[in-house]
Amino acid sequence: MKLHDLAPDQGARLPSRRIGRGLGSGRGVTAGKGTKGQKARQGIRMIPGFEGGQIRMIKRLPHRRGFTNQWRVEYETFPIGLLGRLFSAQDTIDHDVLRERGMRTTNLPIKVLGTGEIKIPLSVTAHRVSATARAKIESAGGTVVELGTKTVQGKRRDIQLRDVAILHGEPPRVRKPGSRAATRTSAPAATSPE
């Protein structure tokens, strides 16, 4: 047996070490707090991440305010001015046609925006159509079919088209009366976009 093998008995409760009780105690004078400085004073309180007075890392980071809604449905947007230049009169524009033309770059739902002008009648089918785009398409003699999107259930990845597309035969969604979504016109059922 050696000195480093010695240990108190199992369950022993030793008195706490007394500090600041004179030089002979081994914990006198500075009582284990070092020499002078802010931390040697009584009632010291330093915020987490304190870096000696310089601007700490949490304040050097870009200011990000608010929050990011992980349930937000993002859309791939198509301005009507672009559709008016690439399609002919009386053409039907939907998910399949845009994919065949190579215009789809993501697998997100489609939204038509009112940017640009259109002078030919087109039949547009999309998940969302802005009010400006709808007015311009209808004023040019075209038609608009808005499919809408369904509420995502059990998000495990980034929201894609297959998560929000309303498929054929699905029961209509029931919205709480008075909600903004309930005031929209119910969208007709659509075939599978896949």
- Condensed to tens digits (0 to 9), the pLDDT of residues 101-125 reads 999 998 899 999 999 999 999 999 9
Answer whether residue 60 is part of any domain: no
Answer with the residue of higher pLDDT: 69 or 90.
90
Sign of CA dihedral 130, 116, 189, 142: positive
Answer whether residue 30 is part of any domain: no
Inform me whether the pLDDT recorded for 183 exceeds 80: no
> Is residue 114 within 8 Å of 128, Cβ to Cβ?
no
Answer whether residue 166 is part of any domain: yes
Region of 158 on the Ramachandran plot (φ > 0 left; ψ -120 to 50 alpha; else beta): beta
Answer whether residue 37 is part of any domain: no
Q: What is the CATH number of the domain that holds 153?
A: 3.100.10.10
Beta bridge partners of 144: 124
Per-residue pLDDT, 180: 60
Domain count, the chain: 1
Domain limits for position 130: 76-183
Report the mean per-residue pLDDT for the chain. Answer: 84
**In 3D, which of 23, 182, 191, 169 has the Cα closest to residue 96?**
191
Inform me whether the pLDDT recorded for 181 exceeds 80: no
Q: How far apart are CA 53 and CA 68, in angstroms?
A: 32
| Token digits of residue 142 | 């075209």
**In 3D, which of 110, 112, 93, 125 has the Cα closest to residue 160?**
110
Inform me whether the pLDDT recorded for 153 exceeds 60: yes
Least confident of 21-25, 106-110, 179-183: 179-183
Answer whether residue 33 is part of any domain: no
The contacts of residue 136 (CB under 8 Å, 6+ apart) are: 80, 114, 117, 118
Answer whether residue 53 is part of any domain: no
Q: What whole-number percentage of the chain has pLDDT above 70? A: 85
Answer whether residue 17 is part of any domain: no
Q: How far apart are CA 165 and CA 192, in angstroms?
A: 8
Write the DSSP assignment of 33-74 as a string of letters.
S-SSSGGGSTT----TT--TTSPPHHHHSPP--S---TTPPP
> Is residue 112 within 8 Å of 142, Cβ to Cβ?
no
Answer with the residue of higher pLDDT: 169 or 87.
87
Answer whether residue 27 is part of any domain: no
For the entire predicted model, the pTM comes to 0.53
CA dihedral of residues 25, 31, 36, 39 (deg, nearest 10) = 170
